[in-house]
Amino acid sequence: MGQLASALVTMILGVMGCAAYFYGSNFLLDKIFPTKSGAAADVARNLRVANNIRPWLFLGPAVLLLTFYLFYPVIDSIRLSFYGRSGEDFVGLANYKWLFSSDEFYESFRNNMLWLIVVPTAATFFGLIIATMTDRIWWGNIAKSLIFMPMAISFVGASVIWKFIYDFRTGGEDQIGLLNALVVFFGGEPQTWLTIPIWNNFFLMVILIWIQTGFAMVILSAALRGIPDETIEAAVLDGANGFQIFYKIMVPQIWGTIAVVWTTITILVLKVFDIVLAMTNAQWGTQVLANQMFSWMFNGGGDFGRGAVIALVIMVLVIPIMVWNIRRANAEMEGR
């Protein structure tokens, strides 16, 4: 009870503190430069001053937080990658040399590439298929909810769920893992799935696909609804069948959204490490970059330099997507 109460107080203080900033700063601004009364000329001047200051009151916290939590770390990681374990002695390119001569790096790089190709593609594909089909049936919304549900489950929770599915029992015991039970049912030999090299990566990817398909589906189905009915009706009149309508009329119209979904999942894949950590702890050749970096940074006292180098590799992999996104945003702003 005591813990609950103190948690409650902490939460209220935290949220109130944030709200108080916005109210307080704007209140102060209105007090210092009053605009509701006074001589017209003063009011006009005050208002102008206030209007020049206010955007920064609104943006202040966001700019500070973005700078501190994202922008500065990017810069600092670049610096750290040239320094040693503790981040104090300059070592030049040593960390880079180490990285490119480390077998583990090649393993995780290869695995990451597999993840990058398989997961976004599969999740987007399933999301699109499901979105299209659920839009046409009366229980579509129920189906969507159920398929979206894994989104609500943490990677660790999902790992428990899937560990349970991949579970293996030796000898003649009954298999309680669903996958092995199925294999046995069809007369096969039960396997320790998570230790089969290369393939175990795919068994891990399945988990992320299972989670992310719901996300792709929700966004794509919103986009599909935005397609003007007339274009589809016109295609029907032109004699197109269901599949032709799907890939010749509908898909091209939501191409932009598909790209956004694909990007979002790609970025997520680069950041994912929980699944690997919880399922295999990177054993049996399932290492990925994010997890490798994590273990270099935090295990055995940590090696900041090597961790930073791996972080930079992840960053470099993301750059094309970043550039593409900024281009898109700029084009959008010019359009308005």
Distance of CA 258 to the CA centre of its chain: 15
Burial 220-246 (b: 16+ CB within 10 A, else e): bbebbeeeeeeebeebeeeeeeeeebb
Q: Is 176 in the site for other proteins (CB under 8 A)?
A: yes
Q: Look at residue 203 and give its three-state secondary structure.
A: helix
Number of residues that bind other proteins (CB under 8 A): 133
Q: Mask: binding to other proteins, 63-82, rule CB under 8 A, as x and -?
A: x-xx-xxxxxxx-xx--x--
Q: Which is nearer to other proteins, 101 or 152 (CB)?
A: 152
Distance CA(268)–CA(109), nearest Å, equals: 16
Q: Is 251 in the site for other proteins (CB under 8 A)?
A: no
The interface region with other proteins, picked from 102-110, 117-125, 162-170, 188-196 by CB under 8 A, is: 162-170
* Min CB(69)–other proteins separation in Å: 3
Q: Which is nearer to other proteins, 117 or 326 (CB)?
A: 326
Q: Mask: binding to other proteins, 283-312, rule CB under 8 A, as x and -?
A: -------x--xx--xx-----x--xx--xx
* Min CB(309)–other proteins separation in Å: 11
Distance CA(94)–CA(306), nearest Å, equals: 9
- Return all residues near 271 (Cβ < 8 A) that are at least 6 apart: 290, 314
Query: Restricting to residues 12-31, which ones interact with other proteins according to CB under 8 A?
Result: 14-15, 18-19, 22, 26, 30
Q: Is 205 in the site for other proteins (CB under 8 A)?
A: no
Q: Is 194 in the site for other proteins (CB under 8 A)?
A: no
* Min CB(265)–other proteins separation in Å: 12
Q: Mask: binding to other proteins, 128-147, rule CB under 8 A, as x and -?
A: -xx--xxxxx--x--x-xxx
The one-letter amino acid at 293:
M
Q: Is 244 in the site for other proteins (CB under 8 A)?
A: no
Contact with other proteins (CB under 8 A) among 97, 188, 233, 255: 233
Q: Is 198 in the site for other proteins (CB under 8 A)?
A: no
Six token digits for residue 19: 């709200």
Q: Is 32 in the site for other proteins (CB under 8 A)?
A: no
Query: What secondary structure letter does DSSP report for 152?
Result: G
Distance CA(290)–CA(155), nearest Å, equals: 14
Contact with other proteins (CB under 8 A) among 24, 28, 32, 48: 48
The interface region with other proteins, picked from 93-101, 117-125, 176-184, 191-199 by CB under 8 A, is: 176-184
Q: What counts of helices (H) and strands (E) characterise the chain?
A: 16, 0
194 CB neighbour count, 10 Å cutoff: 20
Place of tokens 């583990």: 104
* Min CB(39)–other proteins separation in Å: 11
Distance CA(297)–CA(303), nearest Å, equals: 5
Q: Which is nearer to other proteins, 201 or 224 (CB)?
A: 224
Contact with other proteins (CB under 8 A) among 121, 195, 253, 257: 257
Distance of CA 86 to the CA centre of its chain: 30
Query: Restricting to residues 96-125, which ones interact with other proteins according to CB under 8 A?
Result: none
Place of tokens 């010019």: 334
53 CB neighbour count, 10 Å cutoff: 15
* Min CB(100)–other proteins separation in Å: 19
- Taking the CA atoms of residue 20, residue 26, residue 32 and residue 36 in that order, the dihedral angle to the nearest 10 degrees is -130
**Cβ atoms 80, 308 nearer than 8 A:** yes
* Min CB(86)–other proteins separation in Å: 10
- Which is nearest to 131 in space by CA: 227, 265, 269? 227
* Min CB(45)–other proteins separation in Å: 8
Q: Which is nearer to other proteins, 201 or 216 (CB)?
A: 216
